[in-house]
Amino acid sequence: MDNILTHVENSILTITINRPDKLNALSTATIQELHDALQGATSNNNIRAIVITGSGDKAFIAGADIAEFSNFTAPQGETLSRNGHKILFDFVENFNKPVIAAINGFALGGGLELALCCHIRIASDNAKMGFPELNLGVIPGYGGTQRLAQLVGKGKAMELILTTDMVNAEEAFQLKLVNIVTTKENLLTKAYEIATKIISKSPRAIATAIKAINANYKDGVNGFEVEIKEFGNCFDTADFKEGVGAFLEKRKPNFTGE
Ligand code: COA
């Protein structure tokens, strides 16, 4: 992996985008490496949660790599977007383990779009977020026009995308764009604290909850129906039997994710 660093500790995989001299811009190679690292984590039982962050003290990710697409034609642009949706952005949103964005600086364009796909966003107090695409004559192409509105509402999404104004961490918190703001020094500690809390629950139920919550945002899918079906499916799982058994026996559950 040339563009990312990975590290597993306490069942948490930390992925650090490692192009600090380019403010961790998302090149196609970086997107592919992120996909590969996540793909490897899907079936690895030693990994129960993922934290994504950026290297250096300036940026989480300053967007898609502008130099790379500067000469693209329309079909190439469409392919770039479609492939990115498939292998990274939709992939993260629908991931079967919790993915937390630890936003340690600029999260712009594709960087903010990646944070929007994550299940939880934690920002350091120096973070700045926004969609500068309209300054370049393009629009957000990795889901930003859809997912920003889902989190902050259509009116604010229009304002942020059309003006390209950046918001700081506190403003992002007020907008519900990020879940938590903390200091730069405490960012990863906070991310690990949340990840650790989540992974004490049933892995099977975590994956199912992510699926059911996401169902509300999928065209042609009835989220309530997904919830009803998935709720029912839980009753046939080993995790359900273990969770209920542990409660009745007044002990801590030992979930296997089955
Ligand atoms: N793609 C490619 N390279 C990028 C990049 C991006 N999205 N964002 C930053 N870089 C590169 C710069 O070109 C520069 O490289 P160089 O030293 O080889 O010239 C390096 O990262 C440092 O960036 P620089 O602009 O010098 O830092 P700054 O502190 O002056 O400004 C930003 C920081 C984030 C305001 C500025 O880099 C910026 O506007 N980046 C583009 C953001 C953007 O439009 N993202 C959406 C892309 S669709």
Nearest to 17 by CA among 56, 47, 46, 64: 56
**pLDDT tens, per residue, the chain with 258 residues:** 899 999 999 999 999 999 999 999 999 999 999 999 999 999 899 999 999 999 999 999 999 999 999 999 999 999 999 999 999 999 999 999 999 999 999 999 999 999 999 999 999 999 999 999 999 999 999 999 999 999 999 999 999 999 999 999 999 999 999 999 999 999 999 999 999 999 999 999 999 999 999 999 999 999 999 999 999 999 999 999 999 999 999 999 999 999
Q: How far apart are CA 163 and CA 126, in angstroms?
A: 21
Nearest to 12 by CA among 189, 149, 168, 173: 189
Q: What is the pTM of this model?
A: 0.97
Task: Catalogue the active-site residues.
Answer: 113, 133
Task: Tell me which residue has its CA closest to atom 28 in ligand 1.
Answer: 23
Residues with Cβ < 8 Å from 92, sequence gap 6 or more?
38, 99, 114, 117, 118
Q: Does 65 sit in the ligand 1 pocket, CB within 6 Å?
A: yes
| pLDDT at residue 152 in the model | 98
Burial classification of residue 45, based on how many CB atoms lie within 10 Å of its CB (0-12 exposed, 13-18 middle, 19 or more buried)? exposed
- Assigned token pair, 253: 């559950």
Q: Does 114 sit in the ligand 1 pocket, CB within 6 Å?
A: no
CA of 62 to the centre of ligand 1 (A): 6
Decide if 37 contacts 15 (C-beta within 8 A): yes
Q: Does 166 sit in the ligand 1 pocket, CB within 6 Å?
A: no
Q: How far apart are CA 76 and CA 82, in angstroms?
A: 10
Nearest to 115 by CA among 64, 66, 160, 61: 61
Ligand 1 closest atom vs CA 109: 46
Which mutation among 17, 18, 22 tests ligand 1's pocket best, with the greatest number of atoms within 8 A of CB? Answer: 22
Ligand 1 closest atom vs CA 140: 48
Task: Tell me which residue has its CA closest to atom 34 in ligand 1.
Answer: 62
Q: Does 22 sit in the ligand 1 pocket, CB within 6 Å?
A: yes
| pLDDT at residue 1 in the model | 87
Nearest to 26 by CA among 74, 97, 71, 81: 81
